[in-house]
Amino acid sequence: MPDLSVYIGKLKLKNPVMVCSGTFGYASEFEDLMDLKVLGAIVTKTITLNPRQGNPSPRTCETPSGMLNSIGLENPGFGAFVSEKLPYLKKTGIPVIVSIASEKDPREFVTLARALDKVELAAAIELNISCPNIRHKGAPEAAGKLISQDPKATFEVVKAVRKATGKMIITKLSPNVTDIAQIGIAAQKAGSDAVSLINTLGGMSIDIRTSRPKIAMVSGGLSGPAIRPVAVKMTWDAYQKLKIPIIGMGGITDTASALEFIMAGAKAVAVGTQNFVDPKTCQEIISGIKGHMIANNIKNMNKLTGSVKIG
């Protein structure tokens, strides 16, 4: 039988399939819809230091082959996450990757990472430096940039977090850049153990009957199958230059699309928007990857990663 296990840094997963932050809540929301224990890992909804109500409604709308959202990182804050969400996550027995973000000051990443360093259940920390629905007041964000759109800012945040925690760091990258590999290299040099990509693409949709944007914040993040070719290319671009593992995401809906990312260089994949369409997608992809490996006499996942044939 094929071995589906993979290593993301020092973290071993029994298979390469996880869920994207923000599309799976804190796992309990899906307990009656799928077998949580089959997942390789659970990436939590992003938490901030303090509770956030998020952006005003409407916050989502459907787009051709995708979805536009501007949730604004609604979450209960670190304290409530530890007391109210972690106990359930512990019951799943699945590696938990805690996604974190700052609201106003990038130094909040350090505060959260230092606090999570003491939380045994947190197998790794995802630095969400690429949410398009949050803007910071400090440089370089004063110019409207995300941290993940600036190599220097990315390096500084990751380096500071690296000093604050011994846990594995996964840096989540934005597609809204000219060269995503350049940002990934900055994260790698600063001590990130892996990168995840891509976060949502910036997008906008207008209701022509009212002449108003379909979401209250005017623009938001585009996800779903529409962005998959962009995400696969960016995974390939990053794979050419990075030495650390890549977690690929962006429009994964089935086994074939998951395998595209893996063949492009992803060590693991994460399912996002499709969880809303069919909560059992991850289960089906895990089974499908296994079937693909058996059919092609592939013994382990390392043989699949980066196996696309060019030329």
DSSP H or E segment with residue 121: none
Nearest-5° Cα angle at 174, 280 to 97: 50
Which residues are bridge partners to 52 per DSSP? Answer: 75
E strands in 129-258: 168-172, 194-197, 201-204, 206-207, 212-213, 219-223, 246-249
Strand duo 122-128 + 96-100: pairing: parallel
DSSP H or E segment with residue 99: strand 96-100
Residue 62: CA atoms inside 13 Å, Cβ hemisphere, count?
5
The encoded tokens of residue 46 equal: 């992003």
Nearest-5° Cα angle at 96, 49 to 147: 45
The Cα 228–Cα 19 span in angstroms is: 16
Active-site positions? 131
Contact predicate 301/7, CB 8 Å = no
